[in-house]
Amino acid sequence: MDSVQSPDWPVAPPGALAGNSAATRYGGPVPAPPPQHPAPPPPYRPPATAPTATGTARAKPPIPVKILIAGGFGVGKTTSVAAISEIVPLTTEAEMTMAGIGVDDPGQRSEKTTTTVAMDFGCVTIDRSLKLYLFGTPGQSRFGFMWDDLARGALGALVVVDSARLDDSYPAIDFFERAELPFVVGVNAFDGRLAHDLGAIRWALAIGDHVPLVQFDARDRLSVRDALLVVLDRALDRATRDKRA
Ligand SMILES: Nc1nc2c(ncn2[C@@H]2O[C@H](COP(=O)(O)OP(=O)(O)OP(=O)(O)O)[C@@H](O)[C@H]2O)c(=O)[nH]1
Ligand SMILES: [Mg+2]
């Protein structure tokens, strides 16, 4: 195949006109030289892992722990993740439509207009050695097939419950009992009130005495943190028992 070659223009000395410049070929005013760009920043180098000046090695990164925030429709899972996460949470909210009327019941008091269609994600550092990665499940039963995937690798779960709609919580509790994953039931006190006392809720949900039941406020960071610490406690308890066995 014939190839097309560019003419060999003589290389211009620094500061002089290039042989193929318009000014050289056609005459005319000499254009100003191109602006000099600042030197590019130095390339990224990972931080050294060698011992520091004091002779001690760098602190280890915190151990990542995966925790699920699960529960029925509209109980406050996304609200909980958003309240505690130290990063802007990843959410997958979609507008609720008329098609959901009679299928998705967020309760009478709710001003809810969106629903989670895949998952929520957030994280919170507990201390230098521990960081929680929080995965909020979708609440609608038609997205239940995703729970197996979301639960993979999790050490424990907070099952969020609305005390006014206890029957929405049964599938979540069944799921974690079957999966044999340590879980804690967190009753989200909408507007600071519970529809029943905790004893009656434990009875209605038919959960064993070994399952912690706590009241919390999904909108309050410290309240969510306290509920998560109970989950962590329960997960560590299970892990130590498994190790001993
Ligand atoms: N008053 C009050 N409203 C709350 C509380 N927790 C959540 N909400 C509201 O209740 C609605 C439901 O909260 P979400 O966090 O979206 O519930 P969800 O469990 O993630 O819902 P799905 O993902 O759709 O299942 C939202 O409008 C929240 O603002 C609470 O403790 N008190
Ligand atoms: Mg949600």
**Whose alpha carbon is nearest atom 21 of ligand 1?**
74
pLDDT in tens, 143-184: 889 999 999 999 999 999 999 999 999 999 999 999 999 999
**Whose alpha carbon is nearest atom 12 of ligand 1?**
74
Determine the Cα–Cα distance for residues 221 and 231; give it in Å rounded to an integer. Answer: 15
| Ligand 1 mean position, distance from CA 208 (Å) | 27
Mean pLDDT of the chain: 85
Determine the Cα–Cα distance for residues 158 and 162; give it in Å rounded to an integer. Answer: 13
Determine the Cα–Cα distance for residues 205 and 194; give it in Å rounded to an integer. Answer: 15
Note the pLDDT of residue 111: 76
Q: Tell me the ligand closest to 114's alpha carbon.
A: 1
Q: How confident is the model at residue 99 (pLDDT cuts 50, 70, 90)?
A: low
Instruction: Spell out a b/e string for 180-197, using b for 16 or more CB atoms within 10 Å of the CB, else e.
Output: ebbbbbbbbbbeeebeee
| Ligand 1 mean position, distance from CA 34 (Å) | 59
Q: Which amino acid would we find at residue 150?
A: L
Mutate to test the pocket of ligand 1, among 112, 142, 193 (most ligand atoms within 8 A of CB): 112
pLDDT in tens, 199-221: 999 999 999 999 999 999 999 99
pTM: 0.77
| Ligand 2 mean position, distance from CA 139 (Å) | 6
Inform me whether the pLDDT recorded for 57 exceeds 80.
Answer: no
Q: How confident is the model at residue 19 (pLDDT cuts 50, 70, 90)?
A: low
